[in-house]
């Protein structure tokens, strides 16, 4: 039996993993709101992804799983019973969360049939597999809406629009003054925190050296820990600025949105660049299932450069610096 979305008041979307995964889940909120504008959409995620979720205009409330998880089980169940959502959608399967939703008595609990524990915790189990699918990750997420009768295969352009993403804060003055009018402001994000095969730090340094100082203002970003790995290699040039470890995620989103382009492997900042609408240049392996067909960012100005031959996972992506330079030279100012 289908769930009548018109009779639903509140839905929890649960995705408690990383930034890129969260970015590709946001369209669900827009699709559901289009079907029922009165819906209250709650996003259950990890604290560090809250700034990303706050940028989605279709999410009404955020729950921090890392805080909820600390509560004793009776208190945790009481919280969910008091909030009383009608539906719980397990986009990222989590056995503990699935049990929680059932124990607290959420009426409709949706999770893929390909997780064994969902057979005991979910009463709606769409049957699809991610591993060998030809679909994009954001399209696979939409399959979890089948219990509402939503079976359309949305294209990536539509899903980008449904994400309804916009930077939630204006750029602080100390960051805005780093941007140079008349030049292409480019973010280089060398590391991926293990989320993807990388291009290699040396390639990013060579790229920074290759970019014309009169045309490009270059910013290196990453966490403080990542910065420690490559900071000493950053070229000493007037147009190259090290921002590693200096930006909160809120500031990073706002900064990316004001730049012209970003270059990164398949990692969170690349997805943020895509959603903000700037020129997002993604460096991808051709290996399945981590290839661009599954994980390219959503966005109107996304460009994918894929390695020309499949190398082993410990080797940098086989993409030439010259190809990335050309793509940046062709990008809009």
Domain boundaries, the chain: 5-163, 174-330
What is the spatial distance between Cα 160 and Cα 276, in angstroms, rounded to a whole number? 10
The answer to whether 160 touches 23, Cβ cutoff 8 Å, is: no
Looking at CATH, the fold of the domain delimited by 174-330 is given as Rossmann fold (3.40.50)
Whose CA is closest to 85, among 63, 111, 106? 106
Q: Where are the beta strands (DSSP E) in 118-265?
A: 184-189, 216-220, 240-242, 261-265
Contacts of 165 (CB under 8 A, 6+ apart): 23, 26, 55, 56, 57, 275, 276
The answer to whether 60 touches 42, Cβ cutoff 8 Å, is: yes
Q: Are strands 40-45 and 302-306 parallel, antiparallel or unpaired?
A: unpaired
Q: What is the pLDDT of residues 264-318, one digit of tens each?
A: 999 999 999 999 999 999 999 998 888 999 999 999 999 999 998 877 777 899 9
Looking at CATH, the fold of the domain delimited by 5-163 is given as Rossmann fold (3.40.50)
Looking up tokens 């293990």 gives 194
Contacts of 117 (CB under 8 A, 6+ apart): 93, 95, 98, 99
What is the spatial distance between Cα 62 and Cα 83, in angstroms, rounded to a whole number? 12
Fold match between domain 5-163 and domain 174-330: yes
pLDDT along the chain (333 residues), means of 10: 96 97 98 97 97 97 97 97 98 97 98 95 94 92 98 97 91 94 97 88 98 97 97 97 97 97 97 98 92 96 91 85 96 79
Q: What is the pLDDT of residues 22-35, one digit of tens each?
A: 999 999 999 999 99
């Amino acid at each position: 039996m289908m769930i009548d979305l018109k009779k639903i008041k509140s839905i929890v979307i649960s995705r408690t993993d990383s930034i890129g995964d969260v970015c590709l889940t946001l369209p669900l909120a827009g699709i559901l709101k289009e079907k029922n504008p009165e819906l209250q959409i709650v996003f259950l995620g990890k604290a560090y992804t809250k700034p990303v979720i706050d940028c989605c205009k279709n999410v009404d409330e955020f729950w921090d799983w890392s805080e909820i998880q600390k509560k004793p089980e009776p208190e945790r169940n009481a919280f969910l019973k008091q909030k009383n959502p009608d539906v719980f959608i397990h986009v990222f399967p989590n056995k503990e969360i699935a049990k929680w939703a059932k124990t607290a008595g959420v009426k409709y609990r949706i999770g893929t049939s390909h997780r064994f524990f969902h057979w005991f915790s979910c009463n709606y189990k769409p049957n699809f597999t991610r591993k060998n699918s030809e679909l994009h990750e954001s399209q696979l997420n939409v399959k979890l809406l089948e219990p509402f009768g939503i079976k359309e295969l949305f294209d990536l352009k539509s899903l980008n629009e449904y994400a309804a993403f916009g930077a939630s804060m204006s750029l602080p003055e100390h960051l805005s003054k780093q941007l140079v009018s008349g030049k292409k402001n480019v973010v280089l994000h060398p590391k991926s925190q293990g989320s993807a095969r990388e291009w290699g730090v040396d390639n990013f340094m060579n790229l920074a050296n290759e970019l014309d100082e009169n045309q490009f203002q270059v910013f290196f970003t990453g966490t403080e820990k990542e910065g420690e790995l490559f900071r000493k290699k950053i070229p000493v040039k007037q147009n190259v600025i090290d921002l590693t470890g200096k930006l909160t995620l809120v500031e990073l989103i706002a900064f990316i949105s004001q730049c012209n382009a970003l270059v990164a492997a398949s990692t969170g900042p690349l997805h943020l660049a895509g959603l903000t609408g700037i020129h997002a240049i993604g460096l991808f392996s051709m290996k399945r299932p981590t290839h661009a067909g599954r994980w390219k960012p959503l966005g109107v100005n996304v460009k994918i450069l894929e390695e020309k031959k499949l190398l082993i996972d410990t080797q940098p992506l086989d993409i030439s610096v010259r190809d990335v330079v050309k793509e940046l030279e062709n990008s809009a100012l």
